[in-house]
Structure 1
Amino acid sequence: MICLASFNSSSAHSASSNSSSHGVASNGRAAKPETELRQLTGRREAIEHVCTVIRSRASQAVYLMAGPGVGKTSVTDAVREKLAAEMTVLRIHGSSSLAKVPYGVLAPYTSGLAPEEADSPVAVLRAVWAHFQELKGISALNGGADAPVLLVVDDAHHLDDATASMVVDMTSAGWATVLAAGRPRPGLPQALNQLWYDGLAERIDLRPLNGEQVREVVEHTLQGTVPVSTVQSLWSASGGNPLLLDCLLGDATAAGTLVQRNGIWVLLGPLPANGPRLSDLVVKDLLRRTPEEQDALKLIALAEPVPRGLIEDVCGAGVVRSLLDNQVVSESAAMHTELRLTHAILGESTRRQVSVSRSLQLRQKLDAYLDPAAASAEGRLRLVEWSLECGLEVPDRDLLDAGLLAATTFNNAGARLMAGHVRAPELQAHALSITARAHFNEGKYREAAELLDGCWLDLAEDPEAPQVLMLRASSHMALGKSVPSLRAESRQQLEAAGIAPDDAWQDRIHRLLEMAAAGDHEGITAVITALGTTDPDTASGVEATQHAVAQALLAQTLVAAGKSHQAHAAAAAAGPFLPALSGGLYFFNEFVLTRLAISTLAAGNWESAEHELSGYPAERTEGASTFGGGIQALRGLGLLRQGQLERAYQVLLPAVEALRVNDPLQEFRFGSSLAFYAAARLGDAAQAKRLEQDFISARHASGPGCDAVAEAYAAAAAEHLDRKGSGLDRLRELAASESVTDHPGTRMECLILCSDLGERSLTEELAAVAATVEGRWAAGWRQLAQAWASEDADVLTDTAAAMEEAGLLNLAREAYARAGALLDAAGERRRARQAIAHREKCDQELGERFRESPFVASVPSVHLTRRERDIVELAVQGLSDREIAQHLMVSVRTVEGHLYRSYVKLGVRRRDELALALPKK
């Protein structure tokens, strides 16, 4: 039954005794108590706007429009609670079952009418008016004012035309203000729409939550830190739909798929599509549909994406329109439109509600109209999967094509299923390689390596051979095997197979990997020269692989050599070969992206690097769980180099936990060292010691050319942690080692970390090394080191200003700190305070509290009282002493006294110097 409920603060006792006020409505939703703490992320602005419009009577009605599960009811509940003390609130719930029954939703108030009056507008209006008067009488008896009426209409798109017209009449007569919540499709009844057309109603469209809002909801719900990759997976699966997001969170935590490790919530596998909350949501939605709609929904879920015309032929165009109107399915914008459920995980959950026998019946029903050749690649993949679920035979070639697509789109279970059904002996090697990629996606590197060891030589002449070779190499390196060892074993196997290793392209690729591990950029350049010029558009798979791998590895080694600009050009040169390699087993896009980002970071182009890295999850959402940890580790490196320790720590801690689950690019040890460093610098000793053990025990390699860098950060972290000198000694030793002295880029970073520890004896060496390294980051450090060596406060101040202008705020901060210390020692207190004010300004722009610089202790920070700051800020705005006194309601003498003390603290003499000397909040 549909109910009309009321609530008013002056009649709280009456309302609380009315079960319809807080009970379950006919659509199954329960009115939530006012004391419940709601998470209204992304909805607060809409709630405040609705309340403002209703209070001001700017419009007779407010329409809240959104699709199912987006949060309309939560918003109307919040508005009702906010306005309950000011208005008498009544609620009407629409229902599809009563959409064609005149005044059906008003049945509780027309039960006293004679049968012949039940459909009389005048009689029904009188009955509703009598209820209004009764509520006002109760309000008066309880001492309340004659409060205006707010009529809240849920599911207004289901209102019958007669009730909609009556609601408009009540609004026009001034009886009530209307807040109606409905769906854009099929939309509100004509009478309500007319109010909007006439400018008497305001429409507000609620949008799904964006990525940042989903992160806020997830962290609020889980009460902990969540990696970006996990948030990305949840956002992608839910589409920002709050109801669906809530179901996914509940099911994933209950199933142990989403678990907390070291304070970080990590997604260990795919989000469960068979969880009780999601299944309950799907089943209830199916039961609300007609039998024809149920069949159409199941067909779409089983075959998605499926051509719209095909479903219309099988189920009828009217049924398809109804599903589209109810926003249960969506259609593509292509010329030949395809249908799919609005959220992929709903499609998967719906498929699980269909028995095998019923699924087979639906497949047979569809087969009469189906043309597999006309389906998209994704559609063919789903058809193969559906056939296997029904027990139908599928040709081996179709299984392999679909399995490859499944593996590269991270449908790991589907990939294993299809590869496992391949029967032909000559195709078993292909099937094993697909299964290996599925294992690799899930972080099962040992299983992947074992399978690839058994099939890589069998596929030596296959177009997929280069992809298989690279996947095998990555699997072994992820297990900690050195590249020279891998190459030696592979040469023996090639020779045993009758392939001359010296002439084999396989050995050439292994040699490139070996040279990259040794940092031999000259050797890689020689190989690239020997390869010659190849047109990317006509290159074979082997040629494209050799060029892409060689250029990416050249970029990696050039970064270590301090040639970041050349490294970036090399990584960019690999790009044209990537289209020829797309769709294969190996992740060449990610392989090149990491080298490109490292070269950009080495040059100090922070904004470009952030753009390159932050764009990855948006483009490859399905791979966020696999590659997200490595991407975030590189973001953390960039933040550390910018001096943003706190932000870096917030990024690196979740990244390490994500890498613990999946580390395809071998960055766990590298990420652990960075997180260890950030924790030690921030004084989080417990986390630092745990991360130190992660670094020590890691068997993985340290990512693309990052072994020495990881060692350097770990040594610096150990020194920050215990201050015993052993970490600093290790850094000096590393910087002087033969393996590092040949790589100026790596050596410069070691010297920078020594500098951060207060070691100034290496300042001239740092300046000399930085002069040989490309990029604005190195140029900034060269200038800073030279300024340090000068021991001249004016030089340091000018250098700091130049750094600030160039966006190297952490370097500017260090220069200002040293200048302040020198000026203070020289007795120039005013200029010293100005330098420290600028230093604090850099801290604020970096979003950091100033850390332990050796130059700060002798110069106290500038601390203005709250009143002094208020007065100085008004003075900076140009107000006179008298105007400031009037504004703050104090005497002119008080203003003058505070300004004088502020001048002394800030080290200024004139009013026009305040703007530069005032530290930011």
Structure 2
Amino acid sequence: MSNVILGLDRWGNVNVDRRMGLQLELAAAPRVVGIDRDPQRIVDRLDAGISMVIFGPLGFGKSLLLDSVARCLTTSGQQPERLGGRLGSSREPFGSLLNGPNLVLAEALVGTVVTTGRLLSYLQRVCAVDRPIVLVDDAHLVDAHTMRCLSQLVAAQAITLLATSDLVPRAALTSVDDATTLLLDDLWIKGGAERLDLEPLTEPESAELVREFAPGTQFDRVTQALLHTRSGGSRVILRELTAEVARQEPTLADLERTAFAFQAPSRRITDLLTHQLRGLTPAQLVTLSLIGALHKTTYTRALMLSSPADLGDLIRRGHVRRLSDMDNHVQGHAMLAEAALARADSALLRSSTQRLVEVLLTERSHGIATTPAEAQIIAKSWLERSDIRPGVTEKWGQAVVADILIMAARRSRSGGQPEQALLYSSLSLEIEPGLKATIEYSRALAACGRYAAAVAVTSTADELLVKPSDGVKLARWAISLTKFSPLTAAQYDAFSNRVAGWFVGDLAMRGEVEYIRLTQAVQNMDCARVARDGEFIANNEDYNVITRIRAACLSSMGHVHEGRTQHGLTLLELATDLNLRERAQRNADIYSSDGLGIEIFHSTAALRCRSGLEVASLTDELDQWIRVSVADHDHGKLGILGFISAQLSHYRGDTVGTEAELRMADANLVQSDPGGWLPWVQSLHASSLARMGLMQAAAAKMARARGCTIPAAGALSQFEFDQSDLQFLMHSGRNVAALHLARRLLKSADEQSPLIRSWLLNTFYELGEPAADVAVRLEQIASETDSPIVLAMAQRASAAAAVDADKMDVAARHLAELGAYGMAASACLKAAHLHGQRSNSVSERRSRALADSYAAASAAGTFSIVLPPGSERSPIDTLTAREREITALVQQGLSNRDIASELFLSVRTVESHLYQARIKTGQGARGAEPDPSADLIPSDPSAI
């Protein structure tokens, strides 16, 4: 073999580097990998006389691509001839021609001696060209005699061939002729044809296909990620999964409105997966199932489970893939691994698992860390035997066994198996009693809904404290338990005094006591105190780093509610920086860097959605978090991420999307709710159902949310329930009751968060209250905050109060620029109505067209928009001549007093003009005004 190096140039063509004096023929075809699946590009190659062989795993859409190419050829006036392989047709010479799907060809050849020349004569006559195009589907099932004829015709350039083939093993199987496989390989290796390898579907391709498979169905982000990940890039499996999920979508009459997280595949999908595993040996089935259970592992460790040939075959088939972002790591196709586990030989699987467990524990004894997935495999293997004590503990040590069981309990809990987690944690507590096992046992009890028992376990754990770090861990979990069982003020005092008695004088413990008081302020909705005290804890380097991170997150929310969005972002940057420290030391802990990373991301998302600051920047990071959590099978994280997705959809104005996101968040949190999120999410789900007009379903969901909550819940929980009740009243037509509740909430918030007041005032606007009163109060709040959405809402209310259609158009545009497409569409419809009252039909049509564009953008799931032609208008165009002049003077550095003196105006008048300019251009406070170009300042002073 000569040494040939193949590489791609910038256009996707292949460059051949000739070494050792190798002389290649100009007709030699390169190997093309990852070429687009555009059938027209393939047609262009065929028209140029270039034959092609399409390789890909089963279900990757080879036949569909071949059909598309055939349609393109037929449309252009050509007549390609279709051949195909069938199971069993390879057992007799020319069986694919005589007994294949092409009946016309079979009749023409019956009773004759099939030769290459006779086949070419038939193809030329049928296709009516000297060099016919032949399409062969499932070429790996074609008999060797037929394939040899086709290869000879390709080599003689008598025909142009397009063939599809599975990635079959080299060894001959029942339905595959080894000679056919070699002939297919010879076609592209010797240059007779180009090779096209179908890669797994990318996420955008999967999303596009899901829309094609289930038109009109809107899936949430987590479901989209699940469909892509579990399909493994296979078009066929993606189609079946999409159909299954679409069938599970609730109807409008369904009061439960439930979703299914990681639902078991249907029999149809199971049979499809079994068909794909048909050619695997028993050893390969065991290997695939164990690689899938390991989640991802090194290639070297995978070789311990299988022979190099068997592992190479699994990779070649696409059942196992190398991870491009992790050097020397492989990962199994999740659904195929589950199917392989069901078909694997139990004795062979048991012996292979035992060998793997021995290797993993030996590596651990040499300092190599055990992953959660590995710990779960080890724990399961121990429980299959009755001698976990003392046999296993004597061999590996009590500490190792207890730690493995705790890791397995955590993974089981996050994976939606709380009862299994309870079993593992109880065994760990029995083997090695201590604080770590006690806390994990309490967590497992809480995951099973046994909150009183979880609290009781920790209430007697004080005697297990040995050092201050133990006190920090126990206090941290006890604080988390307050979400499941909220405390009264007296109980908070008792709790603080209890923790203060541990390791008196230790600074880290003092930080925990202050954090307890911080959580009490959160429950009481004391935003000013949350902002102040949380920032103090976050900046204190003597306190525990995890406590500092969580305090920074809470403080950021306090600041944004007080109208200091940028300051809140600064605290989140501090939290991110702290989280990057000592990552390796905390990755084995329940508060790993990834776990805290999601907490920081949730705070960031809440801050941006409530303030309207760069909300679109969240989508990429959100999708990345969802991908990781789907791969980890982590229900708890997916529940939180589903809630964050719902926040984005709600902000965008997508009512249906919000309900879908909350439905999936609810489904995941039912499986694993590590932070007591479920009642809150169910309450918000009830609100979204009310906005959709599904009042009965909303009432049922609200009843369930209230049933999950302790009656002594704090002001925060009560406020969330009141907001859900408000949505229910608004959308059920009970406006009088809704106004009464909104006034009560606003009165309770008058001395609290400006941001909460602004959103309640916006509710008054939506309920039809006089716009002038709302506008005045919103403008006052806008002048005190740096939240862009508050300024935009004030601008909309001001336009409504002034009955000014142009100002309403400007307000709509600013809302759209912030990504609040639902409110922007509403403002455009209001502007269109005002234009219509003035008989301005052109502007009315433009505003209605914009409203349609904004409404479409709100339901698109992205923060991108296609505007209708002629709808662009600069904000500067809406400024009056005086506002332009004063704005230009501000840019020259003059103060308000200097401007007033120069223009013979009062300072208050100058401030009023500047404020109006800021409203129209969507800018912040002074110093952020627009920089008008020179042509905005009239050259003729008389024009001012």
TM-score, normalised relative to structure 1: 0.69
Per the alignment, in what secondary structure is the counterpart of residue 767 of structure 1? helix
- 1:418-437 residue pairs with structure 2 within 5 A? 418-422=424-428, 426-427=432-433, 429-437=435-443
Q: Which residue of 2 aligns with 1:510?
A: 516
**Deviation (angstroms), 1:599:** 1.1
CA distance in structure 2 between the partners assigned to 1:591 and 1:489 by the alignment? 28
Q: Which residue of 2 aligns with 1:152?
A: 136
Alpha-carbon distance change, 248 to 696 in structure 1, aligned in 2, over 3 angstroms: same
**Deviation (angstroms), 1:482:** 4.0
Q: Which residue of 2 aligns with 1:719?
A: 730
**Deviation (angstroms), 1:763:** 2.7
CA distance in structure 1 between the partners assigned to 2:695 and 2:295 by the alignment? 51
Q: Which residue of 2 aligns with 1:23?
A: none
Are 1:478 and 1:664, in contact at CA under 8 Å, matched by a contact in 2? no
CA distance in structure 1 between the partners assigned to 2:795 and 2:765 by the alignment? 14
Amino acid at match of 1:619: V
Alpha-carbon distance change, 73 to 322 in structure 1, aligned in 2, over 3 angstroms: same
Q: Which residue of 2 aligns with 1:321?
A: 312
Per the alignment, in what secondary structure is the counterpart of residue 377 of structure 1? coil
Alpha-carbon distance change, 331 to 397 in structure 1, aligned in 2, over 3 angstroms: farther
Q: Say whether residues 1:385 and 2:379 are aligned partners.
A: yes
Q: Name structure 2 gaps, 5 residues minimum.
A: 1-33, 100-110, 171-179, 860-867, 872-944
Amino acid at match of 1:237: R
Are 1:552 and 1:574, in contact at CA under 8 Å, matched by a contact in 2? yes
Out of 167, 179, 183, the position equivalent to 2:167 is 183
Q: Which residue of 2 aligns with 1:608?
A: 617
Out of 513, 519, 540, the position equivalent to 2:525 is 519
CA distance in structure 2 between the partners assigned to 1:684 and 1:276 by the alignment? 33
Count of paired positions: 776
Out of 730, 734, 738, the position equivalent to 2:745 is 734
Alpha-carbon distance change, 434 to 200 in structure 1, aligned in 2, over 3 angstroms: same
Q: Say whether residues 1:829 and 2:823 are aligned partners.
A: no
Q: Which residue of 2 aligns with 1:401?
A: 403
Per the alignment, in what secondary structure is the counterpart of residue 590 of structure 2? coil
Are 2:611 and 2:790, in contact at CA under 8 Å, matched by a contact in 1? yes
Are 2:97 and 2:146, in contact at CA under 8 Å, matched by a contact in 1? no
**Deviation (angstroms), 1:824:** 5.2
**Larger CA deviation: 631-640 vs 794-803:** 794-803
Q: Say whether residues 1:490 and 2:495 are aligned partners.
A: yes
Q: Which residue of 1 aligns with 2:757?
A: 747
Amino acid at match of 2:524: A
Alpha-carbon deviations, 1:610-668, whole Å to 9, x = none? 44544421233236632334433344344444444454455445545555665555555
Are 2:416 and 2:671, in contact at CA under 8 Å, matched by a contact in 1? no
CA distance in structure 1 between the partners assigned to 2:558 and 2:115 by the alignment? 83
**Deviation (angstroms), 1:522:** 4.3
Q: Say whether residues 1:757 and 2:757 are aligned partners.
A: no
**Deviation (angstroms), 1:487:** 2.7
Alpha-carbon deviations, 1:533-568, whole Å to 9, x = none? 555xxx7xx611321222112122223323322222
Q: Which residue of 2 aligns with 1:474?
A: 480
CA distance in structure 2 between the partners assigned to 1:309 and 1:645 by the alignment? 49
Q: Say whether residues 1:72 and 2:62 are aligned partners.
A: yes
**Deviation (angstroms), 1:746:** 0.5
Alpha-carbon deviations, 1:500-556, whole Å to 9, x = none? 999765543321110112233443455457658555xxx7xx611321222112122
Alpha-carbon deviations, 1:824-844, whole Å to 9, x = none? 55xx423xx344234223312
Alpha-carbon deviations, 1:230-260, whole Å to 9, x = none? 4434433343334555787899999999xx9
Out of 424, 446, 449, the position equivalent to 2:451 is 446
Are 1:667 and 1:700, in contact at CA under 8 Å, matched by a contact in 2? no
CA distance in structure 2 between the partners assigned to 1:673 and 1:305 by the alignment? 37
Alpha-carbon deviations, 1:404-436, whole Å to 9, x = none? 444554346565554344375543553343355
Amino acid at match of 1:181: S
Q: Which residue of 1 aligns with 2:363?
A: 372
CA distance in structure 2 between the partners assigned to 1:646 and 1:227 by the alignment? 10
Are 1:214 and 1:231, in contact at CA under 8 Å, matched by a contact in 2? yes
Amino acid at match of 1:384: I
**Deviation (angstroms), 1:316:** 4.6
Are 1:595 and 1:704, in contact at CA under 8 Å, matched by a contact in 2? no
- 1:117-516 residue pairs with structure 2 within 5 A? 126-127=114-115, 150-154=134-138, 156=140, 164-171=147-154, 172=156, 174=158, 177-183=161-167, 189=182, 194=187, 198=191, 201=194, 203=196, 205-208=198-201, 210=203, 213=206, 217=210, 220=213, 226-242=219-235, 262=255, 264=257, 266-267=259-260, 271-272=263-264, 288-290=279-281, 293=284, 308-309=299-300, 312=303, 316-331=307-322, 337-340=328-331, 342-351=332-341, 353-354=343-344, 357-362=347-352, 371-373=362-364, 377-378=370-371, 380-381=374-375, 384-385=378-379, 387-388=381-382, 391=385, 393-394=392-393, 395-409=397-411, 410-411=414-415, 413=417, 415-416=421-422, 418-422=424-428, 426-427=432-433, 429-437=435-443, 444=449, 446=451, 449-450=454-455, 453=458, 457=462, 460-461=465-466, 463=469, 466-467=472-473, 469-478=475-484, 481-482=486-487, 484=489, 487-488=492-493, 490-491=495-496, 506-516=512-522
Q: Name structure 1 gaps, 5 residues minimum.
A: 1-42, 112-122, 852-868, 874-921
Alpha-carbon distance change, 403 to 346 in structure 1, aligned in 2, over 3 angstroms: farther
Per the alignment, in what secondary structure is the counterpart of residue 722 of structure 1? coil
**Deviation (angstroms), 1:726:** 1.2
Identity of counterpart residues, as a percentage? 15
CA distance in structure 2 between the partners assigned to 1:315 and 1:638 by the alignment? 46
Are 1:556 and 1:595, in contact at CA under 8 Å, matched by a contact in 2? yes
Q: Which residue of 1 aligns with 2:554?
A: 553
Out of 596, 604, 612, the position equivalent to 1:588 is 596
Q: Which residue of 2 aligns with 1:38?
A: none
Per the alignment, in what secondary structure is the counterpart of residue 388 of structure 1? helix
CA distance in structure 2 between the partners assigned to 1:805 and 1:254 by the alignment? 37
CA distance in structure 2 between the partners assigned to 1:491 and 1:459 by the alignment? 18
**Larger CA deviation: 761-770 vs 696-705:** 696-705
Out of 597, 602, 610, the position equivalent to 2:605 is 597
Amino acid at match of 1:511: R
Are 1:61 and 1:201, in contact at CA under 8 Å, matched by a contact in 2? yes
**Larger CA deviation: 559-568 vs 503-512:** 503-512
CA distance in structure 1 between the partners assigned to 2:551 and 2:304 by the alignment? 53
Alpha-carbon distance change, 669 to 721 in structure 1, aligned in 2, over 3 angstroms: farther
**Deviation (angstroms), 1:764:** 1.6
CA distance in structure 1 between the partners assigned to 2:299 and 2:806 by the alignment? 73
Per the alignment, in what secondary structure is the counterpart of residue 203 of structure 1? strand
**Deviation (angstroms), 1:66:** 1.9
Amino acid at match of 2:731: H
Are 2:169 and 2:313, in contact at CA under 8 Å, matched by a contact in 1? no
Per the alignment, in what secondary structure is the counterpart of residue 784 of structure 2? coil
Out of 84, 89, 94, the position equivalent to 1:106 is 94
CA distance in structure 2 between the partners assigned to 1:806 and 1:533 by the alignment? 32
Give the number of the structure with larger relative contact order, counting CA–CA contacts within 8 Å between residues 6 or more apart. 2
Are 2:379 and 2:408, in contact at CA under 8 Å, matched by a contact in 1? no
Alpha-carbon distance change, 800 to 248 in structure 1, aligned in 2, over 3 angstroms: closer
Amino acid at match of 1:763: A
Per the alignment, in what secondary structure is the counterpart of residue 847 of structure 2? helix
Are 2:535 and 2:551, in contact at CA under 8 Å, matched by a contact in 1? no
- 1:18-33 residue pairs with structure 2 within 5 A? none
**Deviation (angstroms), 1:718:** 0.9
TM-score, normalised relative to structure 2: 0.67
- 1:879-918 residue pairs with structure 2 within 5 A? none
**Deviation (angstroms), 1:90:** 2.0
CA distance in structure 2 between the partners assigned to 1:253 and 1:811 by the alignment? 30
Alpha-carbon distance change, 383 to 566 in structure 1, aligned in 2, over 3 angstroms: same
Per the alignment, in what secondary structure is the counterpart of residue 152 of structure 1? strand
CA distance in structure 2 between the partners assigned to 1:669 and 1:363 by the alignment? 40
Alpha-carbon deviations, 1:323-373, whole Å to 9, x = none? 433444344569983555x22454455445556644454366668977423
- 1:787-802 residue pairs with structure 2 within 5 A? 787-792=799-804, 796=808
Amino acid at match of 2:522: A
